[in-house]
Structure 1
Amino acid sequence: MASKVIQALYTDDDVLMHAVKKVRAEHHHIEEVYTPFPVHGLDKAMGLEDTRIAITSFIYGCLGLTVAIVMMNFIMIDDWPQDIGGKPSFSYIENMPAFVPVMFELTVFFAAHLMVITFYLRSRMWPFKKAENPDVRTTDDHFLMEIGIHDNEKELTDLLWGTGAVEINVTEKES
């Protein structure tokens, strides 16, 4: 299903920030903003909610720590106990100081790798996916704001020209 959107191009990030605030003040819904680099405060200006990605990172780290503890207890205590450097292998707690580096490394390993996978899945960026960038200039030096049109094309066009847009296009966007 295709929907009509208006795309406004800007050449400066400060002008874009001002435009986003003005468009939001007029109660228009901004579909997406494409920028060549991160613009500080843009997410707040667009009214986006905070992400919960830090919580998932903590959960993935706890999962890695649990896997490390269970793995080392099974390998070094239950399955194949060995006397390494005179350290007895009677219990996991007695040998835990020697296992701290492994616990740390697996915690970081799980958190880092599972966060990358989560980011790609959440962003819907799988291998061989076609790029969704509507204008190649946004990868170099332009900023693009995309707003859905709901029988208010003239009003939006006038508003966007007033915010300092250098180019305005109306296109069909696949949903």
Structure 2
Amino acid sequence: MSTKIIHALYTDDDVLLQAVKQVRDKHYHIDEIFTPFPVHGLEKAMGIADTRLAINAFLYGIVGLCVATAMMNYIMIEDWPQNIGGKPSFSYLENLPAFVPIMFELTVFFAAHLMVITFYMRSRLWPFKKAENPDVRTTDDHFLMEIDTHGADVEEATKFLYDTGAVEIKLIDKEAH
């Protein structure tokens, strides 16, 4: 049994937002939504949980702080102690005020760079990856809602989507998709 995927195209973000709420109320499964720009409130309307990227940013910052601390202790205290400006090199804590800017910069550096890598990995955006955009108009002025019918009545779902404000609907076999 081949299941169908419905691509419903909308031309207005407010209409799309209302349509997402209506589709979820009818218990149809929304696979993906393609938009030319971020639509405020769309993730809540789709029922997507809040992101945990902020927790990762904090942990990456802690890693950067630890690397900065270990690096400065090894370089400036243990391996090559120098008398710079009359400051003693006897312990890390005596020189801590001079190390604060370096600790801050490496904390930000690690958090920023590791967050970019995490975002690309989470979004599956690899180098040279082919675009997965089903309709090129979604990069300009259209919004596409991809709905998996799961064996539901396709004609009823199509009529319902036209009633929500869809301007165009395409039926696609899941195997061909």
Q: Which moved more, 1:143-152 or 1:37-46?
A: 143-152
Q: Does 2:123 match 1:123?
A: yes
Matched, 1:31 2:7: no
Is residue 103 of structure 2 the alignment partner of residue 100 of structure 1?
no
**Residue deviations 1:77-113, cap 9 Å, x none?**
0000000000000000010100111000000000000
Q: Contact (CA 8 Å) 2:57, 2:111: kept in 1 or not?
A: yes
In structure 2, the residue corresponding to 1:78 is in which secondary structure? helix
Correspondences of 1:61-100 after superposition (within 5 Å) = 61-100=61-100
The ranges of structure 1 where at least 4 consecutive aligned residues each deviate by more than 2 angstroms after the TM superposition are 172-175
Q: Distance in 2 between matches of 1:7 and 1:122?
A: 24
CA distance in 1, matches of 2:69, 2:4: 54
- 1:143 alignment partner in structure 2: 143
**Residue type at the aligned position of 1:116:** V
**Amino-acid identity (%):** 72
Structure 1 window deviating more from structure 2 (15-24 vs 165-174): it is 165-174
Shift of 1:164: 0.6
For 2:52, the aligned partner's letter is R
Aligned residues: 174
1:1-80 alignment runs, 5 A limit: 4-80=4-80
1:128-152 C-alpha deviation (Å, 9 max, x unpaired): 1110000000000000000002222
Conserved 8 A contact 2:19-2:164: yes
- CA shift for structure 1 position 3: 5.2
Please give the secondary structure, in 2, of the residue aligned with 1:91: coil
Shift of 1:155: 1.7
Give the unaligned 5+ runs of structure 1.
none
Which sections of structure 2, spanning at least 5 residues, go unmatched? none
Q: 1:3 & 1:74 partners in 2: Cα distance?
A: 61
